[in-house]
Structure 1
Amino acid sequence: MLVFEFKTYGNSSQFDAVGEAIRTAQFVRNSCLRYWIDNPKKNKYDLNKYCAVLAATFPFADELNSQARQASAERAWAAISRFYENCKKKIPGKKGYPQFHKDCRSVEYKSTGWKLDPDRRSITFTDKKGIGKLKLKGTRDLHFYQINQIKRVRLVKRADGIYVQFCIDVNRTENTEPTGNTIGLDVGLKEYYTDSYGVTVENPKFLRKGERVFKRSQRRVSKKVKGSKNRGKARQTLGKRHLKISRQRKDHAVKLARCVVQSNDLIAYEDLRIKNMVQNHCLAKSINDASWYQFRVWLEYFGKVFQRVTVAVNPQYTSQECSSCGEIVKKTLSTRTHACQCGCLMDRDFNAARNILSRGLGTVGHTGTLALDANNALGELTPTLVGEILPQQVGSVNKESPRLDSWGVSTGL
């Protein structure tokens, strides 16, 4: 599934209609959630049927496309089913009980309620909300895909305007030659990551660099009277600042992940629990600014696109264990050099990256990427699920997994 995004252009009345459609979708979603709370035995299909009751009761709900109402009900059921799954897995802490949305920013249409012009440069929404025809501006070309391949169309409201997203049903794969390289990545706050070859990538720290502008924009918001137009303008300016930072983080993660995946046949990285790590109030801002989770998501995505093996390993003792002899060397977070009795002296992150690669090779076996079949190269036989514990995901193909005494580029691949 590919998602193409275009910025839309129209008049103020059209954008007001888009806002009304988004608020209606939020109302339907919250109403379906309330219906489930009052009737816990209701399922997904009962929520879809309840959309017709809402349309008959409220005229503004009837103005929204019927499939858009069903999509809002599906959003409510997605939150409910996620809560049920967390309860079944018995995850520690809060289970994520479904909450009512207060500031929804998107509405989703299925196969009806919209019509794409033949030139693929504008789209017309045909429901009773009065959105009408919106011009599209973007770098993607929709002429390569058929209309029946577009499964969903979303209207997304952001600080700098309204966007249209097209969800296209197509499998993206690219055939590339094997490189014969393997790599282990140890992410950090000082450097963005250190690989098993000792190469480091600088941490961009987008939030830290723009913090002065953020604080000034936040002070301007706090000084304005609540409910005034000037406060609304100040909030919009602040929203644009946040939007710029998020786009910088995404651009950095996408380009870096693509480069790493294209250059290696196997990528091993830590299965970090970011949700638990940000509970440390001293490091929470820096961890969120690094956006490690987004980098991991794009690593796994490009791993499937370029048919590479991506392995998430258990991060326990990767910094404490010596990559040469295997002894545990205790060190605090401020100790940046690994010094072992065996004579191994290297940077702390470099040592951790070597251990991560060793564990990753022990997970998939030392058979070599060139000998893996197509399914295993795509990660279908040994998938790595985000947020899952590694021993519960995959079994070790080679349980002995001898330690790499001579650390070289080949490493058996």
Structure 2
Amino acid sequence: MLVFEFKAYGNQQQFHAIDEALRTVQFIRNKAIRLWMDSINIGKNELSKYCAVLAKEFPFCDKLNSQARQASAERAWIAISRFYDNCKKKVVGKKGFPQFQKDNRSVDYKTTGWKLAENRKSITFSDKNGIGKLKLKGTINLHFYQLNQIKRVRLVKRASGYYVQFCIDVNRCEVVETTQNAIGLDVGLKEFYTDSNGISVENPRFLRKREGRLKKAQKCLSKRVKGSKNRGKARQILSKRHLKISRQRKDHAIKLARCVVQSNDLIVYEDLRIKNMVKNHCLAKSINDASWYQFRIWIEYFAKVFEKVTVAVNPQYTSQECSNCGVIVKKMLSTRTHVCKCGCTLDRDFNAARNILSRGLGTVGHTGISRFNLGNACGEVISTDAGEILYQQIASMNQESQRL
């Protein structure tokens, strides 16, 4: 499934109609949650049927497309089923009890309620909300895909305007030459990551660099009177600055992950528990700013696209263990150099990256990994033989860990 996004252009009346549709979606979802709370044995089918009841009872619900109403009920059921799953798995802490939504920003249309123009540069929404025809602007050419491949159209509201997303049913797969390289990645705060070859990538720190502008915008917002137009304008400015930072993080993660995956056949990284790590209030902002989780998600995605192998290993003692002799050398977080009695002296992150790669090879070696090039501490190249590459293992290895 591919998702392509286009900027939508229209008049103020059309944008007000979109806002009305967003409020209707929020209303239907919250009513479905309330029905589940007040009733017994409520399932997905009952919530879907409840949409028709709401359409008869409330005229503004009838204006929304019928499949869009059902998609709103599906959102409620997703929250409910996630709560049930967490209870069955006995997840520690809060189980994610479904909450009422306060600020919905998207509405989903399935196969009806919209019509794409022949030139693929505009889309018309035909429900009773009166959204009408919206012009589309983007870099993707939709002529490469058939209309029956578009399974869902989503209207999204952001600080920078309104967008239309197309969910297209197609499997993306690209063939690239094998490099016979394996790499271990150690993410950090000083450097974004250090690989097992000793190469480090600078941490961009998008939030830290623009924190002054964010504070200024937040201070301006706090001075405005609640409910006034000036407060709305100040909120818009603050939202745009946060949106720019999030887009920079995403763009950085995509480009870096694609480069890493294309350059290696095996990528090994730590299976970090980000949720537990951000409980340290001294490092929480820096950890969130680094966006390790987003980087991992894109690595796993591109690994499926290019048919590469990814492995998540246990991060325990990767920084303490000596990559040369295996002895545990305890060190504080401020100690950036690994010094062992065996004579091995390496950068802390470089040592950890080598340990990560070693664990990854030990994990998948029995499944058959062919002659990956490895670098030792002196920069020489060595190789290991463990059979032939079995790409059938990719599907199981690329499963995202539930720890994050």
TM-score in same-fold range (> 0.5): yes
Letter aligned with residue 209 of structure 2: K
TM-score (structure 2 length as normaliser): 0.94
Partner of 2:397: 382
Deviations 1:29-75 (A, max 9, x none): 11101111111411111110111111111000011000000001111
CA distance in 2, matches of 1:40, 1:174: 48
- 8 Å Cα contact 1:312/1:384 also seen in 2: no
The equivalent of 1:237 in structure 2 is: 237
Question: What residue number does 2:304 align with?
Answer: 304
Q: Which residue of 2 aligns with 1:173?
A: 173
1:346 is aligned with what amino acid?
L
Amino acid paired to 2:149: Q
Q: Distance in 2 between matches of 1:6 and 1:184?
A: 36
For 1:365, the equivalent position in structure 2 comes to 365
Aligned length in residues: 387
Q: What is the CA distance between 1:91 and its match in structure 2?
A: 1.4
Question: d(CA) in 1 for partners of 2:389 and 2:77?
Answer: 39
Instruction: Go from structure 1 to structure 2 and tell me whether the alpha carbon gap of 1:208 and 1:110 turns closer, same or farther (over 3 Å shift).
Output: same
Q: What does the per-residue CA deviation read over 1:181-217, in whole Å, with 9 as the maximum and x for residues that have no partner?
A: 0000000000000000110000000001111111111
Aligned equivalent of 2:256: 256
Question: Residue 369 of structure 1: CA displacement?
Answer: 4.1
Could you tell me how far 1:363 is from its partner in structure 2?
1.1
Q: Distance in 1 between matches of 2:209 and 2:322?
A: 35
Deviation at 1:341, TM superposition (A): 1.3
Corresponding residue of 1:410: none
Superposed CA deviations along residues 121-175 of structure 1, whole A, max 9, x for unmatched, are 0000000000000000000000000001000100000001000000000000000
Q: Within 1, Cα distance between the matches of 2:74 and 2:363?
A: 37
Structure 2: unaligned runs, 5 residues or longer = 372-387
Q: Identity across aligned pairs (percent)?
A: 73
> Secondary structure of 2:395's match?
coil
8 Å contact from structure 1 (residues 266, 369) kept in 2: no
Alignment of 1:11-410 (within 5 A): 11-365=11-365, 367-369=368-370, 371-376=388-393, 379-388=394-403
Where do 5+ consecutive residues of structure 1 fail to align?
390-413
Q: How far 1:90 sits from its partner (Å)?
A: 1.1
- The whole-number CA distance in structure 2 between the counterparts of 1:384 and 1:330 is 32
Query: Helix, strand or coil for the counterpart of 1:310?
Result: strand
Alpha-carbon separation, structure 2, partners of 1:40 and 1:157:
35
Please tell me whether the aligned partners of residues 265 and 369 of structure 1 are also in contact (alpha carbons under 8 angstroms): no
Q: Secondary structure at the match of 1:94?
A: coil
What secondary structure, in the 3-state scheme, does the structure 2 residue paired with 1:107 have? strand
Q: CA deviation at 1:362?
A: 1.0
Q: 1:369 to 1:26 in 2, by over 3 A?
A: farther
The TM-score normalised by the length of structure 1 is 0.92
Measure, in 1, the Cα distance between the counterparts of 2:179 and 2:358. Answer: 18
Hey, which bits of structure 1, 4+ residues long, moved more than 6 A?
Answer: none
Change beyond 3 A, Cα 1:181–1:232: same
Map residues 3-14 of structure 1 onto 2, 5 A cutoff: 3-14=3-14
Once structures 1 and 2 are overlaid, which stretch shifts more, 195-204 or 337-346? 337-346
| One-letter code aligned to 1:375 | Q
SS in 2 for 1:152: strand
Deviation at 1:342, TM superposition (A): 1.1
CA distance in 1, matches of 2:337, 2:198: 13
AA matched with 1:335:
T
* Partners of 1:345 and 1:382 in 2: CA distance: 33
- Counterparts of 2:97 and 2:335 in 1: how far apart (Å)? 41
**2:383 match:** none
Amino acid at match of 1:18: I
- In structure 2, the CA distance between the partners of 1:359 and 1:387, relative to structure 1 (3 Å rule), is same
- Whether the 8 Å CA contact 2:272–2:403 is kept in 1: the answer is no
Q: Secondary structure in 2 aligned to 1:312? A: strand
Superposed CA deviations along residues 369-413 of structure 1, whole A, max 9, x for unmatched, are 47223422xx12434323249xxxxxxxxxxxxxxxxxxxxxxxx
